[in-house]
Chains A and B, each alone.
Chain A
Amino acid sequence: MNGRRAANDHPRHVDPVTLARYATGAEPTTTGTTGAGPTTTGTTTTGVRLGDPALWGVEAHLERCPSCRARLADLADPATSALVAGVRERLEPGLATPPAPPRRRWTPELRTSAWPIVAWTAVSVGMLLTAMAFELAYPGMPSLVLLIAPVAPLSSVAAAWSRRTDPAYEMVAATPGAGLWLLLRRAVIAMVALIPVLAVVGWQVGLSPARWLLPCLTFTTATLALGGRIGVDRAAAWLTCGWAAAVVAPALISQHSSVLFRPGSLPCWAVAALVSGVLMLLRADDHLRLASHG
């Protein structure tokens, strides 16, 4: 199983002369009298047995090289070919077809923590729709959609990578495939469900996509950057609470739109998204350990 590094190393293929001698040399033969497949060589050495070291070398190569095995099959004498074909014909109906290699690459990911993601996404969707209804009913208030959009995907992302929702988290954590990239795959699945809803809600209340998408990305990448050490679910909870206390509550109490959402603040959000994205990549190795799972 450890052969992926060695599997395709074929520095040199077996040359035709040696291969012909290998094909005929299984039985002791006298020089030049055998008629088994020497047509390709045309040399006087055909039919002489290979010495043991050469034989082992050829055998070791044949084990790993399908193309040389195919060439060897062509050199077999007609009686052997007929025997192999006959055996194959008799055996084939009784052999079960081997299972196909797994092709689905996203579906297993989708199914590992499907229900928690669906549940949390449903909660976020409900909140966004409520915010939209509120905003359409009271146009004078600060935009509630803008206020909750940044943290809307966090609960779904946390649900995709938490020991509370992934029953096999500890086994997964010990595999080479675990880490930031697996987490990102799951996060993308969580986001894909929510982004269209955000787009529709944003369009309904007349917001340009950049105004909610950039804060959204900033908070998601910040969660992943922080989550490696303290757990992705805890990071999501802290960021959501912090955002609610520092921005959402004051905006609702003062009834003034936060300075963070003035049109001029977009470049700041872009820089923030970039910085947290870089931090996330720098802290990628944190997600190799159990602490990342909360």
Chain B
Amino acid sequence: MVRVVNAGEIAPSRSAWAVAAERIRVRAGRHLAVDGLDLTLDNGVHGLLGPNGAGKTTLMRALATVIRPVGGRLELLGQPASHGGDLRRVRRDLGYLPQQFGCYPRFTLREFVEYMAWLKQMPKAEIPGAVQRAVDRVDLTEHADRKLKTFSGGMLRRAGIAQAIVNDPRLLLLDEPTVGLDVEQRVTFRALLRELGTDSCVVVSTHLVEDVVAACTNVVLIDHGHLVWQGTPEQLADEETPDGIGDSPAERGYSALLRERRGQAVTR
């Protein structure tokens, strides 16, 4: 479907970075899961990589503006998101897929994505077309009018991705989006990610190094709530050391970086 590109969409952004975090600290319950993290991200696909408990989900929640950081400065799409700032304006250009989520079982896929589009305050006339495009992009066209309770795990995940991209977000946050997808769906999904990353900032959190290598333009490695390393997937593979654990150069580079970081933490 051809759509008109309007002046609002091609207006230059007034911020240098889609995400700019300065020494942010974010709590998950009582635990300080993100502790003084500095991060800047621009357009492209960013893989947020780290072991379990590294603070990935908490960081994603802070970026999705659903948790207020307890310290530091966070700016999203040029708007302050930690204190003050117009949260609603940021959220209109935001897409978010949480790690764990449920859908309303009695809604059809179309109704669900429509409801989310309405909550994202899209113009009413644009909603049906945008919903159809989002559903098409995640390959659920023929299931659009089925109830969500009949969906499999992988299909639900794709329904979640559809609601995240329905408003063509400038900042798209996907927390473990490949869980439950089979090999073929993963490959299609990576192609979608690359496409989305050309004109928006996509952050994908994952603990699978292979996902990052295949689809991301940039890798952000965090551990214990700190930024450990940031670079391209190729640079990650170059960090490989002979004693690194893993099946591919990137995996060995990943484990080497983590070990180095932990070594520093112990000696300090």
Interface residues of A (CB under 8 A from B): 1-7, 60, 63-64, 98-102, 108, 111-112, 114, 167-168, 170-178, 182, 285, 288-291
12 contacts between A and B (CB under 8 A): A1-B168, A4-B123, A98-B128, A98-B129, A102-B118, A112-B104, A171-B96, A171-B101, A177-B119, A182-B119, A288-B65, A290-B67
Assess whether B137 is interfacial by the CB under 8 Å rule.
no
Given contacts A6-B8, A171-B98, contact A290 B66 (CB under 8 A): yes
Q: State whether B8 touches A2 (Cβ < 8 A).
A: yes
B7 at the interface (CB under 8 A from A): yes
Residue of B nearest to A5 (CB): B8
Residues of A within 8 A of B65 (CB): 174, 288-289
| Given A108-B115, A176-B88, CB of A171 within 8 Å of CB of B104 | no
Residues from chain B with Cβ under 8 Å of A111 in the complex: 104, 106-107
Task: Indicate whether B167 reaches chain A with its CB closer than 8 angstroms.
Answer: yes
What is the interface size of chain B, counting residues whose CB is below 8 A from a CB of the partner?
A: 57
Residues of chain A with a CB closer than 8 A to B129's CB: 98
Residues in A whose Cβ lies below 8 Å from that of B96: 170-171, 174
Q: A174-B96, A176-B92, A290-B66 are in contact. Are A60 and B119 (CB under 8 A)?
A: no
Minimal Cβ-Cβ distance residue in B for A290: B66
Tell me whether A168 and B94 are in contact (CB under 8 A).
no
Q: Which residue of B lies closest to A4 (CB)?
A: B123
Contact of A3 among B8, B98, B104, B119 (CB under 8 A): B8
**Which residues of B are interface residues toward A (Cβ below 8 A)?**
4-9, 61, 64-68, 87-89, 91-94, 96-98, 100-107, 110-112, 114-116, 118-132, 160, 163-164, 167-168, 170
| Whole-angstrom CA separation of A174 from B114 in the bound complex | 16
Contact A177 B128 (CB under 8 A): no
CB <8 Å contact, B106 and A101: no
From A105, which residue of chain B is reached at the shortest CB distance? B118
Asked if A2 contacts B9 (CB within 8 A), the reply is yes
CB–CB B124/A101 < 8 A: yes
A60 and B98 in contact, given A1-B167, A167-B104, A176-B91 (Cβ under 8 angstroms): no
Alpha-carbon separation in the docked complex, A101 to B102 (Å): 25
Q: In whole angstroms, what is the CA distance A108 to B148 when docked? A: 14
> Within the complex, which residue of B93, B101, B106, B132 is in contact with A168, where a contact is CB–CB below 8 Å?
B101
Residues of A close to B105: CB separation below 8 A? 167
User: Whole-angstrom distance between the alpha carbons of A64 and B6 in the complex?
Assistant: 7
Which of chain A's residues has its CB closest to B128's CB?
A: A99
A173 CA / B97 CA spacing, docked (Å): 11
Q: A111-B106, A171-B116 are in contact. Are A3 and B91 (CB under 8 A)?
A: no
Closest chain-B Cβ to A118's Cβ sits at a distance in Å of: 13
Assembled-state Cα–Cα distance A148/B160 (Å): 41
- Write out the residue numbers on chain B whose beta carbons fall within 8 Å of the beta carbon of A99: 110, 128, 131-132
Classify the secondary structure of A's interface with B: loop
Once the chains bind, are A175 and B125 in contact (CB under 8 Å)?
A: no
Which chain B residue has the least Cβ–Cβ distance from A109?
Answer: B115
User: Are A1 and B101 in contact (CB-based, < 8 A)?
Assistant: no
In this complex, what residue of B is CB-closest to A62? B4
The answer to whether A3 and B6 have CB atoms under 8 Å apart is yes
CB distance from B231 to the nearest CB of A (A): 28
Pick the contact of B101 from A4, A170, A175 — CB < 8 Å? A170
Cross-chain contact B128 with A175 (CB below 8 angstroms): no
Known: A6-B7, A176-B120, A182-B119. A171 touches B97 (CB 8 A): yes
* Chain A min CB distance to B209 (Å): 26
A95 to chain B, nearest CB (A): 12
Give which listed residue, B87, B93, B107, B115, contacts A2 with CB less than 8 A.
B93
Check A176 against B121 for contact (C-beta < 8 Å). yes
Q: Give the residues in chain B near A285, CB-CB below 8 Å.
A: 87
Residue of A nearest to B117 (CB): A102
Residues of A within 8 A of B87 (CB): 176, 285, 288
A residues less than 8 Å from B118 (CB atoms): 102, 108, 177
Is A289 in contact with B119, judged by CB distance below 8 angstroms?
no
**Partner pick for A100 among B115, B120, B121, B128, CB 8 A cutoff:** B128
**Cα separation A5 to B92 with both chains bound (whole Å):** 12
Q: How many angstroms between the C-alpha atoms of A176 and B92 in the bound complex?
A: 6
In the A-B complex, the 10 residue pairs with the closest CB atoms:
A167-B102, A177-B119, A6-B8, A3-B6, A175-B119, A176-B91, A176-B88, A170-B98, A174-B96, A1-B168
Determine the distance from Cα of A64 to Cα of B120 in the docked complex, in whole angstroms.
23
- Chain A residue with the shortest CB-CB distance to B6: A3
Which residues of B have CB within 8 Å of A178?
Answer: 119
Q: How far is the CB of A294 from chain B (nearest CB, A)?
A: 13
Are A2 and B168 in touch, CB under 8 angstroms?
yes
Residue of A with least CB distance to B115 = A108
The answer to whether A1 and B103 have CB atoms under 8 Å apart is no
Chain B contacts for A173, CB-based, 8 A: 66
Which residues of the partner chain B approach A288 to less than 8 Å between Cβ atoms?
A: 65, 87
